[in-house]
């Protein structure tokens, strides 16, 4: 099916154990799409399934359309890596969650950055803006991440109520921007994010947007 591309990151809800996993489409043909063995978000360990297990999938396409559907494990295969062959859902059973640009707001939140490249040390920084689709962060002078780099982010969302949420996403560095004050920012696109986390970030953006409008009117 055209909506699933090789290389897409997907969120999987393991219904029987109520846990969220991440995986990636590693291949596809006319009969199946193939995913690498999923990793549990909470434990960061690989999760193994049996033939016949039903899984709930969701992912965000390049045009920001969010898809949800169910699929069944049909078999285990050996590609260049071990993978699961999943059957395609019927088109009338694919749910489109939303199709719109995400609201982006300027705000400074604390961000912990863990590059997938083990040669680059983790670092902490702050954002310059954020949306449900990505984030821009200030890059410290002593780090060397590059365009195309994959990083794991921990975002600190401080709500008006006083509550603080720590959310985790995986992102890709899209481009760098040099600011007038000689600081450099990086624009990152969320490439793996659960639907719950994305909706949490979107709610946060709307809350900050409301706060800004109240200040303008006061």
Long-range contact set of residues 118-125: C-beta below 8 Å, sequence gap at least 24: 120/144, 120/145, 120/149
What integer pLDDT is reported at residue 152 of this predicted model? Answer: 93
Give 103's contacts (C-beta < 8 A, 6+ positions apart).
131, 132, 202, 205, 206, 209
pLDDT band at 35 (very low <50, low <70, confident <90, very high): very high
Q: How confident is the model at residue 156 (pLDDT cuts 50, 70, 90)?
A: very high
Residues 180-187, mean pLDDT to the nearest whole number: 83
Going by C-alpha positions, the residue among 63, 92, 71 that lies closest to residue 28 is 71
Q: What's residue 206's pLDDT? A: 85
Give the model's pLDDT for residue 64. Answer: 61
On the CB side of 29, CA atoms within 13 Å amount to: 5
pLDDT for residue 166:
93
The phi, psi pair for 94, rounded to 5°, reads -90, 125
The pLDDT value recorded for residue 46 is: 86
The answer on pLDDT for 153 being more than 90 is yes
Domains of the chain, start order: 9-99 (2.30.110.10), 105-217 (2.40.10.220)
Each residue of 67-122: pLDDT tens digit? 888 999 999 988 888 899 999 988 888 887 654 567 889 999 999 999 887 778 89
pLDDT at 1: 57
- Among the listed ranges 40-44, 61-65, 92-96, 130-134, which one has the minimum average pLDDT value? 61-65
What is the per-residue pLDDT for 100? 55
Contact indicator for 109, 129 with CB cutoff of 8 Å: no
Which pLDDT band holds residue 4 (cuts at 50, 70, 90)? confident
Q: Residue 191 has what pLDDT?
A: 87
- Averaged pLDDT, 206-218: 80
Got the DSSP string for 6-48?
A: TT-EEEEEETTTTEEEEEEEEEE-SSEEEEEPPEETTT--B--
Q: Are 151 and 116 in contact (CB under 8 A)?
A: yes
With 0.75 as the threshold, say if the pTM is over it: no
Asked whether 214 and 206 are in contact (CB, 8 A), the reply is no
pLDDT averaged over the chain?
85
What's 163's DSSP letter? -
Share of the chain above pLDDT 90, in %: 36
Query: pLDDT confidence of 177, banded at 50, 70, 90?
Result: confident
Distance CA 52, CA 208 (A): 44
Q: Which residues of 44-81 are buried (b: 16+ CB within 10 A; e: fewer)?
A: eeebebeeeeebebbbbeeeeebbbbbbebeeeeeeee
Tell me the sheet residues that pair with 12: 21, 57
DSSP codes joined into one string, 179-199: -TTS-EEEEEEEEE--HHHHH
């Amino acid at each position: 099916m055209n909506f699933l591309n090789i290389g897409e990151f997907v969120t999987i809800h393991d219904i029987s154990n109520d846990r969220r996993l991440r995986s990636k489409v590693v291949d596809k043909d006319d009969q199946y799409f193939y995913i690498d063995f999923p990793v549990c978000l909470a434990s960061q360990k690989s999760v193994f399934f049996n033939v016949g297990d039903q899984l709930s999938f969701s992912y965000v396409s390049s045009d920001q359309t969010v898809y949800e559907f169910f699929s069944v494990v049909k078999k285990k295969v050996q590609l260049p890596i071990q993978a699961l062959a999943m059957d395609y859902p019927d088109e009338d059973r694919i749910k489109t969650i939303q199709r719109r640009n995400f609201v982006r707001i300027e705000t400074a939140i604390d961000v912990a950055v863990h590059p997938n490249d083990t040669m680059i040390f983790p670092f902490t920084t702050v954002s310059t803006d954020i949306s449900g689709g990505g984030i821009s962060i200030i890059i410290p002078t002593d780090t060397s991440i590059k365009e195309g780099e994959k990083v794991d982010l921990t975002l600190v969302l401080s709500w008006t109520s006083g509550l603080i949420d720590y959310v985790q996403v995986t992102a890709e560095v899209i481009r760098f921007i040099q600011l007038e004050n000689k600081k450099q920012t990086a624009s990152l696109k969320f490439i793996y994010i659960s639907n719950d986390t994305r909706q949490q970030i979107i709610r946060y953006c709307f809350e900050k947007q409301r706060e800004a409008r109240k200040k303008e009117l006061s």
